[in-house]
Amino acid sequence: MKNQLKLSMAVLAACVTFSAIAADAPKSMRGLDVAAPDPVAADKAYVGARPGTQKPIARTFSTQPPVIPHSIENFDEINLETNQCMDCHSAATYQKKKAPKIGDSHFVARDGAKLDEGSAARYNCTQCHVPQVDAPPLVDNAFQGDVKKADAKKPVKKN
Ligand code: HEC
Ligand code: HEC
């Protein structure tokens, strides 16, 4: 008898807990029910105009690949034959094009050897450098990077 009472108490407790969870069903960050399929995200236009018409965007932390401040929509896609980014950013062209030269770390081979031109491992620029869209953060946050260090023109030296 005692055991039966214990069992029914446990069942009752489980029911109460379950209905409490159901009433406060978890939602995804976009406000949808977690079980609902994610809708296709709306296409957002990249911000930024022609290169040479805007300032670099402040870096958020010291080892961040700087984000691309200018539009890249009219450039050809990077492939085996062409890399338009290098028309302006390579060691050979950057001065003439008044563009920042690719980072110092791009002139280092995998074995640590110094290179005269960018390493092939850095060929796919947009794998690390991304253009900008106007997208507010999904959740409020108070993130602060080491902005001061990160904004130093040259990559930060290790202390
Ligand atoms: C026509 C020349 C040109 C081309 C092509 C070009 N850029 Fe740029 N880029 C610039 C100039 C000039 C700046 C300086 C900021 C500005 O004026 O937009 C710049 C800035 C940048 C920066 C910011 C650097 C920093 O220190 O913050 C990045 C990253 C960058 N470009 C990456 C790219 C990538 C990746 C591509 C190819 C998809 C590319 N650029 C193609 C001229 C060019
Ligand atoms: C593996 C990631 C990666 C790839 C690929 C890459 N970069 Fe970078 N880039 C970085 C990082 C990280 C920095 C920050 C400075 C550094 O490490 O040299 C940087 C810095 C830069 C800068 C600013 C240089 C400065 O003086 O601070 C330019 C311009 C740039 N990259 C252009 C390019 C272009 C153009 C390509 C393609 C040919 C490219 N990057 C490929 C990660 C990358």
Can you say whether residue 48 is alpha, beta or left, with left for phi > 0 and alpha for psi between -120 and 50 degrees?
left
Measure the CA–CA gap between 81 and 101, rounded to whole angstroms.
21
pTM of the model: 0.80
- Closest residue to atom 18 of ligand 2, CA basis: 103
Q: What are 34's two structure tokens?
A: 């977690």
Question: What mean pLDDT is reported for the chain?
Answer: 82
Residue 106 labelled as part of a binding site? yes
Confidence band of 17 (pLDDT split at 50, 70, 90): low
Candidates 108, 110, 98, 106; CA nearest to 124 is 106
Could you tell me the distance, in angstroms and rounded to a whole number, from the CA of residue 31 to the centre of ligand 1? 36
- Asked if 94 contacts 88 with a C-beta cutoff of 8 angstroms, the reply is yes
**pLDDT at site 143:** 83
Residue 50 pLDDT class (50, 70, 90 cuts): very high
> Letter for the amino acid at 22?
A
Looking at per-residue confidence, does 153 or 120 come out higher? 120
From residue 18, give the alpha-carbon distance in Å to each of 4, 7, 14, 87, 133. Answer: 21, 16, 6, 62, 42
User: Using a 6 Å CB cutoff, which residues line ligand 2?
Assistant: 63, 65-66, 83, 85-86, 89, 100, 102-106, 118, 122-125, 127-129, 155
pLDDT in tens, 1-11: 566 767 666 66
Q: What pLDDT is attached to residue 120?
A: 93
Mutational pocket test of ligand 2: of 57, 106, 153, the residue with most ligand atoms within 8 Å of the beta carbon: 106
CA of 143 to the centre of ligand 1 (A): 26
What domains are defined for the chain?
39-159 (1.10.1130.10)
Ligand nearest to the CA of 87: 1
